Amino acid sequence: MYTINGKEYIITVKDLDNNKTVKEVYNLLGFKVIGNVIDERISKNRFTRNIQNISIEFEGEVINKKSVQVKLPVFKLKPTRYTGMYNPNIGTFDMETYKDLDSNSKVYALGFATLNMLKDKKNLYVLFN
């Protein structure tokens, strides 16, 4: 029986092998509060405590290292033909330039396309001399 922050708990300890123990924490009503806390001894004063996806390394009463494993969702893009777009007139604009003898930028090619244009397979490119 342990008192933590003014509340009483029952902690059960089961040895898995010489270096590993499993602990479970229950409140006084018998409900499991924390389960499967695994302590693994590294050396005489060092051990690692694993609680679900959290790993904490202790040396004496000092925490050396903490880590949390987080599973992130994998985003899979579905191919689409621009359906359901809020504004199909959104598009792109591109200019190709060069520097003339006076170091001025000059446009020699220009192109643009909107989603509507891509639907109809129409692209417009204008070339300047």
CA 38/CA 42 separation, integer angstroms: 13
Assigned domain for 110 exists? yes
CB 20 within 8 A of CB 8: no
- The parent domain of residue 33 ranges over 2-68
Q: Give the pLDDT confidence score for residue 81 in this predicted structure.
A: 66
**Interval 80-92: pLDDT, tens:** 665 665 676 777 8
| Furthest C-alpha separation in the chain | 88
Q: How confident is the model at residue 71 (pLDDT cuts 50, 70, 90)?
A: confident
Q: How confident is the model at residue 74 (pLDDT cuts 50, 70, 90)?
A: confident
Average pLDDT over residues 60-84: 80
Quick one: 14 and 57 in the same domain?
yes
Assigned domain for 84 exists? no
CA 56/CA 42 separation, integer angstroms: 12
Q: Which helix (H) or strand (E) holds 119?
A: helix 115-119
Assigned domain for 55 exists? yes
Position 124 pLDDT exceeds 70:
no
Q: Give the pLDDT confidence score for residue 127 in this predicted structure.
A: 61
* Number of domains the chain contains: 2
Q: How confident is the model at residue 29 (pLDDT cuts 50, 70, 90)?
A: confident
